């Protein structure tokens, strides 16, 4: 893959395809392998940091990826339709050519689309200064799972959503996604002529949804990372309290988005196992116990904690009334002034980079 040009997505997909075996395609493990290989390749061939307004760059990247995905879906639909017509017009003899062509077009569509979408995730991450680890791609696979599997657990609640995020780890989630992608491609191309229309539309829709989800995730991570880095270092750092506070703020309005659950998964993953388990047990609806424990936070750690939670409240475009009320109560327990103007400033600053 070293000879492939950085902008040649199709060439990269072809090079990756050579790394896959039949058993990997059959089992579904091909998807995890493609993600890891591409992330590793992207790390080795790091592109210059994009220059310009982050929101404009991100929107442009999503549009470009949607066009590419739509074109590969169109090519797959035309291939399956052409193969079906060839078989029909030759009374079945053309199946000798048509069937392999259809299978090849379908696999090419799935692989090329996967590369387009991983490349999009890398580009959105680069725009916000976030890099996905090729050796531990759990954060990215979790986002993929939410997008490709849909809202299978609708109504599960915030705690159920976080539990599902944390269960999406290891090779199993990649296998599940790989199988689903192949199954969806087969369904879309089952009716040849219809596939010409359905394949491009489905590719564009899923690529746009993935782009929007990844974009929101990297926004959260970028905003929280610096504040968390300062706070979560050292043996006495209030790591559990910090993560619990983000949980209560993200659930203050009674709703939680998949990318918010993924951010909590990211934060929990940075805690030692015992602290992670303890924080996870405290993801409850009533913040009373958490508030009581805030009174014991050392004076030097109080302001950074409040700052982290103000960032968490303002990262989603605006701080809601329940979030503001909670922050005001937190400030009172910590014996600090609640600076509403600072919260509005953070919101405006974060809005500028979107």
Q: Tokens standing for 190?
A: 């089952």
**How many Cα neighbours within 13 Å face the side chain of 9?**
21
The C-alpha torsion from 145 through 151 and 157 to 161, rounded to 10°, is 0
Closest among 328, 220, 312, 207 to 266, alpha carbons compared = 220
**Residue 275 has what pLDDT?**
85
Report d(CA 75, CA 107) in Å as an integer. 12
Q: Tokens standing for 78?
A: 């035309």
CB 209 within 8 A of CB 91: no
Closest among 112, 39, 24 to 75, alpha carbons compared = 112
Burial class of residue 11, CB neighbours in 10 A (0-12, 13-18, 19+): middle
Report d(CA 303, CA 318) in Å as an integer. 21
Q: Which residues of 288-313 are buried (b: 16+ CB within 10 A; e: fewer)?
A: eebbeebeebeeebbebbbbbbbbbb
Burial class of residue 172, CB neighbours in 10 A (0-12, 13-18, 19+): middle
Report d(CA 309, CA 85) in Å as an integer. 61
Closest among 146, 178, 143 to 30, alpha carbons compared = 178
Reading the chain (354 residues) residue by residue, the pLDDT tens digits are 444 344 555 556 566 666 666 667 667 777 888 888 888 888 887 766 667 677 788 899 999 999 888 877 665 554 554 444 444 445 444 443 443 444 445 666 777 888 888 989 999 998 888 888 888 788 788 888 878 765 444 456 777 778 777 776 656 777 888 788 777 766 665 555 455 556 778 888 888 999 998 998 888 888 787 777 766 666 677 888 888 999 998 888 777 787 888 888 888 888 888 888 888 888 888 888 999 999 888 888 888 888 889 888 887 667 788 888 999 999 999 999 888 888 777 777 665 544
199 phi, psi to nearest 5 deg: -65, -50
**Residue 333 has what pLDDT?**
93
CB 284 within 8 A of CB 329: no
User: How would you classify residue 227: left for phi > 0, otherwise alpha for psi between -120 and 50, otherwise beta?
Assistant: alpha
DSSP-assigned letter for residue 252:
T
Is 320 in a helix, a strand, or coil? coil
CB 112 within 8 A of CB 10: yes
Closest among 310, 317, 323 to 224, alpha carbons compared = 310
**Residue 350 has what pLDDT?**
61
**Residue 115 has what pLDDT?**
86
Q: Give Cβ neighbours of residue 162 (< 8 Å, ≥ 6 apart).
A: 247, 256, 261, 264, 265, 280, 283
**Residue 8 has what pLDDT?**
57
Report d(CA 46, CA 42) in Å as an integer. 6
Closest among 207, 231, 220, 247 to 298, alpha carbons compared = 231
Whether the model pTM is above 0.85: no
- Domains of the chain in sequence order: 9-218 (no CATH), 232-352 (1.10.3680)
DSSP-assigned letter for residue 262:
H
**Residue 173 has what pLDDT?**
76
């Amino acid at each position: 893959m070293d000879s492939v040009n950085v902008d040649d997505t199709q060439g990269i997909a072809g090079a990756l395809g050579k790394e896959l075996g039949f058993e990997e395609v059959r089992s579904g493990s091909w998807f995890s392998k493609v993600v890891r290989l591409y992330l590793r390749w992207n790390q080795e061939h790091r592109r210059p940091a994009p220059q310009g307004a982050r929101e404009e760059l991100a929107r442009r990247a999503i549009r470009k990826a949607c066009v590419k995905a739509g074109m590969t879906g169109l090519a797959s639909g035309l291939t399956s339709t052409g193969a079906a017509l060839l078989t029909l017009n030759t009374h079945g003899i053309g199946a000798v050519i048509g069937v392999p062509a259809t299978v090849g077009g379908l696999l090419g569509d799935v692989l090329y689309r996967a590369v387009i979408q991983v490349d999009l995730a890398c580009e959105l991450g680069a725009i916000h200064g976030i890099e996905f680890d090729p050796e531990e791609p759990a954060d990215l696979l979790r986002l993929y799972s939410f997008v490709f599997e849909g809202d299978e657990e609708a109504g599960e609640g915030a705690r159920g959503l976080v539990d599902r995020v944390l269960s999406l780890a290891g090779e199993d989630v990649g296998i599940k996604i790989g199988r689903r992608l192949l199954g969806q491609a087969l369904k879309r191309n089952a009716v040849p002529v219809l596939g010409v229309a359905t394949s491009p539309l489905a590719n564009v829709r899923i690529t746009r949804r993935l782009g929007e989800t990844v974009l929101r995730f990297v926004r959260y991570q970028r905003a929280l990372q610096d504040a968390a880095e300062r706070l979560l270092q050292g043996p006495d750092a209030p790591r559990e309290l910090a993560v619990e506070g983000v949980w209560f703020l993200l659930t203050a309005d009674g709703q939680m988005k998949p990318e918010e659950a993924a951010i909590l998964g990211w934060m929990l993953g940075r805690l030692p196992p015992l602290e992670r388990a303890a924080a996870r047990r405290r993801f409850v609806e009533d913040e009373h116990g958490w508030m009581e424990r805030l009174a014991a936070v050392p004076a030097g750690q109080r302001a950074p904690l409040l700052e982290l939670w103000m960032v968490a409240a303002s990262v989603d475009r605006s701080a809601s009334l329940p979030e503001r009320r909670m922050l005001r109560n937190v400030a009172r327990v910590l014996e600090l002034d609640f600076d509403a103007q600072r919260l509005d400033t953070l919101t405006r600053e974060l809005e500028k980079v979107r």
